[in-house]
Amino acid sequence: MSSKEPILVVEDLHVRVEDKEILKGVNLTINAGEIHAIMGRNGSGKSTLSYALMGHPRYQITAGKVLLKGKDILELPTNERAKMGLALAFQYPVSIPGVSVSNFLRASVKAIRGKEVPVKEFRQELKVHMKELGVKDEFLSRYVNEGFSGGEKKRLEILQLSLLKPVLAVLDETDSGLDIDALKTVAAGVNALATADNGILLITHYQRLLDYVEPHFVHVFEDGRIVKSGGSELAKELEERGYEWVTQELAPVGVTP
C-alpha cells in the first residue's frame, strides 16, 4: 500500500427502504491501496450499502454522511457520483436488448471521461483488457447481457470497470453463480483493478472469492451495521464457524440471542 489518503469515509450511515430501516449506523473508511471485504448473512444490509453509496432512489438516507475523496456525495445524482470515480458491479446485471457490448462500453467510457475516445485508441485499450479476461472478439457484437451466462455477465462487469478505472469499485456479490474457472478469471480481473491509488469494496457471502483476492480488511455485517472487523484470517474463520458465533460474541452475558 502507498499513502493513507481516504478514498471513502462512511460515518453513522442510516438507510431506510420504504418504512423499514435497513442500515443502522454504518462506519467504514477505505484508504488508497486497500481492498475491503464485507461478509454477512442474507438480509444483513450488505447490498443496501452498495445501492445507497451509488444513489439508488429507493434507498432513503436518514442520517450520516458519505465522503468520496473528501467530498460529501449524498446530494449528488448517480451519474455525478460515477463521474467522480464511484462504480458498482451488480450482483444481477440487467440485459439491454438492441445495444451492443462495444457501443455500450464506448458510451460508458465517454460519459465518465467527458470526451469522445477515438475509435482506434478505444479498440486498442479494449483489446488489452479483453485478453486479460479471456473475452473473445464476438462478445463485442452481442447485445448487453442478452443470453449471457452468469460468468459472461460478470466478465462484462469487470471489463467495464477495467475501462472506467474507478477511484472506488464496489462489487456486489460478483462471485455469485460462478463456476471455479469463471471465478478465477474474475478474481484475476479484480486484482488487476487494484492499484495504490484506488480502493475496492467486495461484498460476498462466501470466503471462496477471497482465496483469490486477498483483502486487507474483512468486515462482518449483522442487522444493518458492521459488528466485527479483522484481517483476511477473519474470512477463513467465518467459513469454518459460520456467522452464529459472531452473534453469540455480541450478546450480553447470560442472554441467549
- For residue 1, being part of any structural domain is answered with no
| Single-letter code of the amino acid located at 40 | G
Closest CA to 45 of 169, 220, 234: 220
Residue that is written with C-alpha cell 467486495 in the block:
202
30 domain residue, yes or no: yes
pLDDT interval class at 219 (50, 70, 90): very high
The pLDDT of 126-153, averaged and rounded, is 91
Other Cβ atoms less than 10 A from the Cβ of 205: the count is 17
- The domain of 99 spans 6-250
Q: How many domains does the chain have?
A: 1
CA distance 156 to 80: 22
Which pLDDT value is given to residue 251? 58
Note whether 127 and 139 are within 8 A (CB). no
Radius of gyration of the chain from Cα atoms? 19
Q: Is residue 257 part of a domain?
A: no
Q: Cα–Cα distance between 160 and 116 in angstroms, integer? A: 16
Give me the sheet containing 71-72, strands edge to edge.
Answer: 20-31, 6-17, 59-68, 71-72
Residue 32 lies in a domain: yes
For the whole model, what pTM was predicted? 0.90
Position 242 scores a pLDDT of 84
- pLDDT category of residue 23 using cuts at 50, 70 and 90: very high
Q: Can you give the CATH number for the domain in which 109 is found?
A: 3.40.50.300
Q: What is the mean pLDDT of residues 75-88?
A: 95
Q: Does any domain span residue 98? A: yes
